[in-house]
Chain A
Amino acid sequence: MSDAPEDRAGLYVLGVLDDIEMAEVRRDAAQNPTLAASIADWERRLAPLGEMAGEVPPPASVWTALELAIGRLQRPVAAASAVGDRAAWQGAARRWRSLAFGSMALAASAAGLLLWRVAHEAAQPPARYAVVLPMQGKIGGWLIEVRPNGEVRAVAQGGVSHPDNKDFELWALAERATTPEPLGVLPVGSAAISLHPRPLPKAPFELLVSLEPKGGSPTGLPTGPVMFAGEIAEPHG
């Protein structure tokens, strides 16, 4: 099997690779300009094949959700730096404004059942939600649900992946805090997981996701770069 960038790029753009292989190509392309250029070449060459699918008007809800999302989303900020530079990641997180309802709506179709069920079952104070999204133009993120009992549920959205020897860890950064609190290691698959962190800060607080060694940060503070961010907003009246 040949590993020439042209060949890998062609297979990737054609769409015949499995999800693991696709993730490998993306990871390599991020560091290999030749591979990235080959992918762009193949995208240009093969794109007209898409015309064979014809045209279908999308549901109006798609634009509604997008309009909400882009109204709320701040442009991606530069990735915070890694080890030890707390001021940098804190600063980056602070520039990341509330994603509250716009992004929620965006993610809601993927997690619609979850949202619906919680909304109808919760007799007590409502759960709060946030979507944590990439700090840079990458894909994926998580829908985070903070339940009134302090339980945090996380559902991966859209193709998040990390190297085998790493994990994504979720952190809460309170409004005036200088250090974040660890909430737990996040799933990258489609399964939802429940985290049972120590008492959460009072809303609003930032949510950060850093890339850590397998099993989470060994120090209790982020040791790797902050890759995703979002915010738990104050409950609306």
Chain B
Amino acid sequence: MTETEGDIASEALLARCGAGDSGAFKLLYDRHAPRLYAIALRIARQPGAATDALQEGFLQIWQNARLFDPARGPAVAWMTALVRYRALDLQRRRGPETAALDDVPTEDATIMLQRIEASADGRALRQCMERLEPARQRLVVLAFVEGYSHAELAMRLATPLGTIKSSIRRALASLRECLQG
């Protein structure tokens, strides 16, 4: 019988990738690439750069699969991180010239939060995000989902850099406290 999506946990697929199983890699790719590509598109802001980020991120996933430690978190978190970092690297290197300064996504962060699935980690994070002040909630979303740096947030939201930095720091401290509590 052929293995199908959903039969095997992503953590187990990663372990098989670590042993050189390219079939497991294909299952992982099919399962996670659409979500990771959506993240890369948001952050890299250009389809070409997003494609590069996805390719390079998945190549790293394959190359580093044997280093994945399930005790540190789920496979999807580890894979998300690898692709996001590639997208952030590409976007940062290209510089902030790619969009008009007032072109800030206006999607409501509260509504976007409803897209977070009901995994245990997702539920906890969503509850903690909903406890943040709306302005801080928006900063966290713009940073994580859209890939805005401190400096870019300050420019685009016409807010002093120091204010942005301290708001982000407080938001992270609140999240950490909430998620640990």
Contact = CB atoms under 8 A, between A and B. Distances in A.
Interface of A: 1-2, 6-7, 10-11, 13-19, 22, 37, 40-41, 43-59, 61-63, 65-67, 69-71, 73, 75-76, 106, 109-110, 137, 139, 157-159, 189-190
24 contacts: A10-B172, A15-B147, A15-B148, A16-B150, A17-B149, A18-B149, A19-B93, A40-B78, A41-B73, A47-B74, A47-B80, A48-B116, A48-B117, A50-B145, A52-B145, A53-B38, A54-B35, A57-B34, A57-B37, A58-B33, A58-B51, A63-B33, A106-B55, A110-B52
Contacts of B36: 50
Nearest to B122: A48
Contacts, number: 194
Contacts of A48: 116-117, 119, 121-122, 125-126
B150 A18 contact: yes
B157 interface: no
A7 B177 CA distance: 12
Contacts of B48: 109
B13 interface: no
Contact of B55 (A16, A18, A49, A62): A62
Contacts of A106: 55-56, 59
A51 B35 CA distance: 7
A66 B77 CA distance: 21
B160 interface: no
Contacts of A110: 52
Given A22-B88, A50-B144, A66-B58, 6 more contacts: A15-B149, A19-B93, A50-B35, A56-B41, A67-B22, A189-B93
A55 B150 contact: no
B153 interface: yes
B92 A52 contact: no
Nearest to A103: B59
A44 B51 contact: no
A59 to B, nearest CB: 6
Given A63-B29, A158-B90, A58 B34 contact: yes
Contacts of B163: none
A66 B55 contact: yes
A87 B23 CA distance: 36
A57 B47 CA distance: 12
A144 B13 CA distance: 33
Closest 7 CB pairs of A and B: A44-B73, A47-B77, A48-B122, A159-B89, A58-B37, A55-B34, A19-B92
Contacts of A109: 48, 51-52, 55
A51 B74 contact: no
Nearest to A139: B60
Interface string B62-83: 1110010100111011101100
B54 A22 contact: no
Contacts of B62: 66, 70, 73
A190 B147 contact: no
B169 interface: yes
Contact of A56 (B25, B37, B179): B37
Contacts of B172: 7, 10-11, 14
Contacts of B59: 66, 69-70, 73, 106
